[in-house]
Structure 1
Amino acid sequence: MTQLRFDPALPWWAIGMLAALAVLVAAFALWRGMRGWAWRGLAGLAAALALAGPALELGTRAALSDIVILLDDRSASQALPGRAAQVDQAVDDLSAGIAALPGTDLRRVTVGDSDDGTALATALSRAIAAEPDARLAGVIAVTDGRLHDPQMLPQGMAAPLHVLLTGQPQDWDRRLVIEEAPAFGLIGEEVTIRLRVEDQGLVPEASRTGSVTLRLSVDGEDEQTVAVPLNTSLSLPVTPGHAGQNVVQIALDDAPGELTDRNNAAAISINGVRDRLRVLLVSGEPHAGERTWRNLLKSDAAVDLIHFTILRPPEIMFDDVPVDELSLIAFPTRELFLERIDDFDLIIFDRYSVRGILPPEYYMNIARYVEDGGAILVSAGPEMASVESLNLSPLGPILPARPTGRVIDQPFTPRLTDEGRRHPVTAGLGGPDPDAPDWGRWLRLSEVTPTGDAQVAMTGAEDKPLLILDRVGEGRVALLTSDQVWLWGRGFEGGGPQLELLRRIAHWSMKEPELEEEALLADVRDGLAVRFTRRTMQDSAGPLQVTAPDGSISQVPLAADGPGRFVADWTAPEPGLYRLADGDMRRVLALGPAAPREFEETVADAPLLTPLVEASGGSVQRLSDGVPDLRQTRAGRAASGDGLGGPWIGVTPRDAATVTGLDRRPLLPGWGWLALIAGLILTGWLAEGRRRPA
């Protein structure tokens, strides 16, 4: 490499003025007809050139190799049948072909899985940025063409991009696409999931049915089937049945010959919430703790409370006071207990006595309401042991205990039973030492005898039942056999967890998921890490049976983590839909999408890469036609085509080089410039001295 460089001895403007002066002198001499004008002008220009310091810069160049980038897509979708072998064969053949090209280096980049799918565009951009444009001869991507980061594709390339697609031309797949799904829904009210079933690829004639069967279940129960049209968006109504997560599982029947069934199912978690918790509180005999329940329920903004207090018992109904002069509001018994009873989530009877206000058929309707899924809570006082006890009404058969008729009037400290230590309503209330909790005493309770499968969670004086919980049909019944809970709220002898206890009782009655005594919970912690929690009233639980998305079953042992609580930490092998089972308990767990992004679209195609391929002069070819031959092609010529031996792709030699050394030599030494200038001046003088013969 040789270049002419300048090292001026004067500023360029001074050298320019000298050159201009030489030209002006020569022009003046020419105008006056003086001989030798040209030699004088050349002498001035030579002097100006000498001051500019011209020199020859001699560089030593070393040729640089060309670089070809080979992108090797090893994402999960490349593990579909036949594709891994195609990738292995193509990578081996191309690596050997690149190694055989003179002056060419291979840069191999492997693209694996990520949480966001195939980051092929990111890998491509980084690989190109890491190499100088002057050496990049080509990029070859062995992939199925399905990338999930198109925004990272480079704007342009200095070399051709060739995409070699895996798979077969006859590949096809059917997938379930969830277009829109709600995160929340009101319990008992329909929400809408928008979805479509879509076919991709070359669908065989036998599978072009126009409709498919869709299987739908909530929390893995009561599976329903429905026929839906193909390639059409539709709305699917779903009704959340309980508070907390309602996992809606939607699945297609597998079609013969499709690429994968991993995208035939979806799990949607809809958090069921109540619009308002509607509670009916009926207070009977006035007592010191009458406002306890009211204050508790009114403090919760999510509770819609209706409260009636019986201030005018039947025995004074027929006095001489005119009805229109009474300031009391008539108790709307028919409206509340017949017409609108199903609107309530919980009915609380606080020291309520049977005094003839409600006819027998009303109590029977309350019992029906509980068996159909409602809840009642009885906070009883001495009236429980009297002839006015609710137990003697038609409501008696659903109550969890029978009174003995005895009222124990003596101080006692409430204690948790073994069942109480396990039951979520009372678990943990006793503090670090549940056998001797630091609680204030109560002063009275009514003696009862539990019935059936009722669970005694707390005991009082003489170890008699204090808090009894029971299930009746689809509903819940709770019985508190003392009206002294208000003493905790007043701080008597240090008080106790009054608000927490009453809140838990009320919310358990209303079937809040976090207070279910038999529950299987899964807490997703980080990525695929999960903590399983099994709550039970039994002494043991597990092992937990886990069914993976591919149908394989594993057993996960559970370890005790307190009374009635068993846990296990587990890491899932892959994202997808898992089914959990322990005895009669069932749960569906979605880790990531039920169909990972790698399996959303599985038919090999390159629509996102095609614009960059065309702009770079590359090509898109299928490996099912064989691995193309590799050639070198000059810039500006076609970089792909079909030859006698099959398809071929080309890389462009760049002829890049680097300078390894420089040597600068003056164009003439100083004495040489002096001799040149003097010679020009002398020649001009001699030319002027000549005379032409007359």
Structure 2
Amino acid sequence: MSNSILFSPIIPLPILAVLAALAVLFIGFAIWRKLAGWPLRGLAALVLVGALANPALQQEDREPLTDIVLLVVDESASQKVSDRQDQTAAALAALTARITARPNTELRTTTVPDAEGDGGTLLMGAVAEALADIPQSRLAGVLLLTDGQVHDVDLAPNIPAPVHTLLTGHKTDWDRRLIVKNAPGFAILGEEVLLTLRVDDQGAVPDGLGKLAELEISVDGGPVQAYNVPIGQDLELPVTLPHGGMNVIQFTVPESEGELTNRNNIAVVQINGVRDRLRVLLVSGEPHPGERTWRNLLKSDSSVDLVHFTILRPPGKQDGVPVTELSLIAFPVRELFLDKINDFDLIIFDRYKRRGLLPGIYMDSVRDFVEQGGALMVAAGPDFASADSIYHTSLADILPAAPTARVLEEGFKPLLSDIGQRHPVTEGLEDFAPPVAEGEDGPGWGRWFRQIELETLLGNTVMTGVGDRPLLVLDRVGEGRVALLASDQAWLWDRGFEGGGPQLELLRRLAHWMMKEPELEEEALWAEARGQVMTIIRRTLGEEVPDVEVTLPDGSTQTVTLKQVSPGRYQATFDGPTIGLYRLSDGEKDAVIALGPSAPREFEETIATGDKLLPVVEQMRGGTFTLEDGVPALRNVRSGRPAAGRGWLGITPREAYLTADVTLIPLLPAWLTLLLAALFTVGAWLREGRR
């Protein structure tokens, strides 16, 4: 219960003030005239002015509210090292018991898990979210149970109560960490890139550890190479990627005795290897409409360096036409096919036939070029079926199909074979076709009108033409690859005839497949990560795939069964329990993938410290305590006073309440006002009259 007097003037306050002033003047005049009844007249005036002020007694029926203490418990990954979880549990139990035992005090607890991705410990965000549900008038204190490694101190809210930090950990803690300070996301094959690494010791480092640390390096889970590197110094490491696609490089510093954790002793870097430029030699024979299409297609790609020659006649032909009127420069046969053939990545013969210009030794050079890792593509025209065909050279040793000497001149629509549905070069090409007209079969792209009949010897037939005959045949030869297209009319797609077709996509995939791009391998196993969840993908030309064995960062293994999602493609998802390097193997193919950040933010700094939270703690004169020294006692402190001392922390009682009922009792009701004013006035008149 609480009582107070309230005034609610009946008339405006300025008028009341004027009337009060007139009453004072009237009483002063009465005193000056020495009237015997002036005290009674003054009391009458006071009663009248008081009645106009309308005083009332307010009685409040109050229900006291509890003081709220907010306890924020850090449950991030760094709080799970050493015995910090046990320290946290013991401190939480002690504080809960002490706070709940206090009269009129309520405890609210909130936990702070790891932030999504690599966000670290967002302690202040959790505090702000919890304070949104607590009235400021009831907040008595905030206790932060943490190791002090917080990553959002700049976002601390305004806290109108003492804030205290209770630190886990020990004064003797020390840790060694590996930092990747600089790592590119991609690099050009064959060129060195510099990675900047650093090995640091932090905390109470024991004496006698030395100034060198061992650094182990492995690429794609392969053999480990070890080096001794200085501690506390930046190390620039030159790296040359061994292959295209994703290269996973793991750096490891072996765990030292007594260090806090080995979670920051490993860093995984993923660098995508890309080719600088694709160097293509295009050799055209008899001019035809598709020649310009080939040239425009290759020149439109800025990543392609194209050398193009059109061979018009053999040098021995005598027709009286000056050579200077046939060409601007002499054809550098020896330079291209012997001296600098290895400078090219891909050689294309477009409707080329033997003209006596390229002797057998040059064709042998092309064959050796392919067997040693180069790529060859043959776009066959009618000459490929003739006696002058380049098949009747040493190229026959590497070509996957032989001509039968028949040229089929009729309209046909290129189709994907069963293997073509699964082969990465042609997989899903139907998606690039316009809708099929009603009553038509096959994809909705245009027809071709000429095909060279082939007898398949080796390789995979991925596209078929007239009568289901081979149209596009792919094969691996030695270290290289060969593609044979049994038609010279792919240009019809480029011109949009009957709707055209996916010529650009097909030839782009062909070039990338021949350049051994990992994403276009026929037999491949890889994984794609999203957070801690990986999608395991297996591509094959076969009808089934074995189970995949996943080796976790801790060395344990799990078996995953893949399911077919499209022809030749099998998938499964796997939730990685921890960050780190995972190895995949199905007995035929191997792959590695890193889940999580290369260097987790939560383990960049692991030594407990109160320095980061000091600005928040000092704002309301709170304190920082080490749980190793024991859980501090609780005391009541007034607002604005020091709220921490040796072995104790303070909370501020708020004395908040809820008003349940309010009663107003007028002090000068109308009847009492009239009675008192009349009595005082009559008394003054009688007094003065008697005198």
Instruction: Name the TM-score class by shorter chain.
Output: 0.7 to 0.9
Post-superposition CA distance 1:574-597 (Å, at most 9, x none): 444322222242322233314543
Contact 1:263 1:594 in 2 (8 A): no
Contact 2:189 2:240 in 1 (8 A): yes
Deviation at 1:86, TM superposition (A): 1.6
Contact 2:67 2:139 in 1 (8 A): yes
SS of the residue 1:409 aligns to: strand
> What does residue range 268-287 of structure 1 map to in structure 2 within 5 Å?
268-287=269-288
Contact 1:214 1:228 in 2 (8 A): no
- Give the whole-Å Cα distance in 2 for the aligned partners of 1:203 and 1:391: 73
Deviation at 1:12, TM superposition (A): 1.3
SS of the residue 1:424 aligns to: coil
TM-score, scaled relative to structure 2: 0.86
1:117 is the counterpart of 2:120: yes
Contact 1:384 1:403 in 2 (8 A): no
> What does residue range 401-420 of structure 1 map to in structure 2 within 5 Å?
401=400, 403=402, 406-410=404-408, 418-420=418-420
SS of the residue 2:128 aligns to: helix
> What does residue range 272-671 of structure 1 map to in structure 2 within 5 Å?
272-287=273-288, 289-300=290-301, 302-316=303-317, 320-338=320-338, 340-358=340-358, 362-363=362-363, 365-381=365-381, 383-384=383-384, 388-391=388-391, 393=393, 397=397, 399-401=398-400, 403=402, 406-410=404-408, 418-429=418-429, 437=442, 440=447, 443-445=450-452, 447-448=454-455, 450=457, 454-458=459-463, 466-483=471-488, 485-486=490-491, 498-524=503-529, 527-635=531-639, 637-642=641-646, 647-671=647-671
1:197 is the counterpart of 2:202: no
Deviation at 1:123, TM superposition (A): 1.7
* Aligned CA distance change for structure 1 residues 133 and 56 (closer, same or farther; 3 Å): same
Contact 2:553 2:582 in 1 (8 A): yes
* Aligned CA distance change for structure 1 residues 255 and 541 (closer, same or farther; 3 Å): farther
* Aligned CA distance change for structure 1 residues 618 and 478 (closer, same or farther; 3 Å): same
TM-score, scaled relative to structure 1: 0.86
SS of the residue 1:407 aligns to: strand
In the alignment, residue 399 of structure 2 is paired with which amino acid?
P
Aligned-residue CA RMSD in angstroms?
3.6
- Give the whole-Å Cα distance in 1 for the aligned partners of 2:633 and 2:685: 74
SS of the residue 1:506 aligns to: helix
In the alignment, residue 457 of structure 2 is paired with which amino acid?
P
* Aligned CA distance change for structure 1 residues 402 and 108 (closer, same or farther; 3 Å): closer
* Aligned CA distance change for structure 1 residues 682 and 343 (closer, same or farther; 3 Å): farther
> What does residue range 675-694 of structure 1 map to in structure 2 within 5 Å?
675-681=675-681
1:50 — aligned with what?
Answer: 51
- Give the whole-Å Cα distance in 1 for the aligned partners of 2:141 and 2:51: 48
- Give the whole-Å Cα distance in 2 for the aligned partners of 1:494 and 1:681: 115
* Aligned CA distance change for structure 1 residues 383 and 204 (closer, same or farther; 3 Å): farther
2:21 — aligned with what?
Answer: 20
- Give the whole-Å Cα distance in 2 for the aligned partners of 1:94 and 1:62: 27
SS of the residue 1:280 aligns to: strand
In the alignment, residue 557 of structure 2 is paired with which amino acid?
I
Q: Which runs of 5+ in 2 are unaligned?
A: none
Contact 2:400 2:475 in 1 (8 A): no
Contact 2:268 2:599 in 1 (8 A): no
Deviation at 1:227, TM superposition (A): 3.9
In the alignment, residue 514 of structure 2 is paired with which amino acid?
S
- Identical residues among aligned pairs (%): 52
Moved more, 577-586 or 47-56: 577-586
> What does residue range 52-131 of structure 1 map to in structure 2 within 5 Å?
52-115=53-116, 116-131=119-134
Post-superposition CA distance 1:168-222 (Å, at most 9, x none): 22222222333343334334334443443332222223444344414152x4446
Post-superposition CA distance 1:352-403 (Å, at most 9, x none): 2344434666545544543454322122345546665545556554x23474
Contact 1:220 1:586 in 2 (8 A): no
* Aligned CA distance change for structure 1 residues 619 and 421 (closer, same or farther; 3 Å): same
2:150 — aligned with what?
Answer: 147
1:177 is the counterpart of 2:179: yes
In the alignment, residue 426 of structure 1 is paired with which amino acid?
T
Deviation at 1:445, TM superposition (A): 2.2
* Aligned CA distance change for structure 1 residues 22 and 401 (closer, same or farther; 3 Å): closer
Deviation at 1:282, TM superposition (A): 0.7
Deviation at 1:310, TM superposition (A): 0.4
In the alignment, residue 514 of structure 1 is paired with which amino acid?
E
Post-superposition CA distance 1:608-643 (Å, at most 9, x none): 21211122222222222233333444555543334x
* Aligned CA distance change for structure 1 residues 629 and 296 (closer, same or farther; 3 Å): same
Post-superposition CA distance 1:210-254 (Å, at most 9, x none): 44414152x444655444333333444444555543434333333
* Aligned CA distance change for structure 1 residues 52 and 488 (closer, same or farther; 3 Å): closer
- Give the whole-Å Cα distance in 2 for the aligned partners of 1:19 and 1:495: 103
- Give the whole-Å Cα distance in 2 for the aligned partners of 1:496 and 1:640: 78
- Give the whole-Å Cα distance in 2 for the aligned partners of 1:337 and 1:289: 24
2:167 — aligned with what?
Answer: 165
Q: Which runs of 5+ in 1 are unaligned?
A: none
- Give the whole-Å Cα distance in 1 for the aligned partners of 2:465 and 2:384: 16
Aligned pair count?
677
Contact 1:520 1:534 in 2 (8 A): yes
In the alignment, residue 445 of structure 1 is paired with which amino acid?
I
SS of the residue 1:17 aligns to: helix
Deviation at 1:348, TM superposition (A): 0.6
Contact 1:441 1:493 in 2 (8 A): no
Contact 2:448 2:490 in 1 (8 A): no
- Give the whole-Å Cα distance in 2 for the aligned partners of 1:508 and 1:380: 19
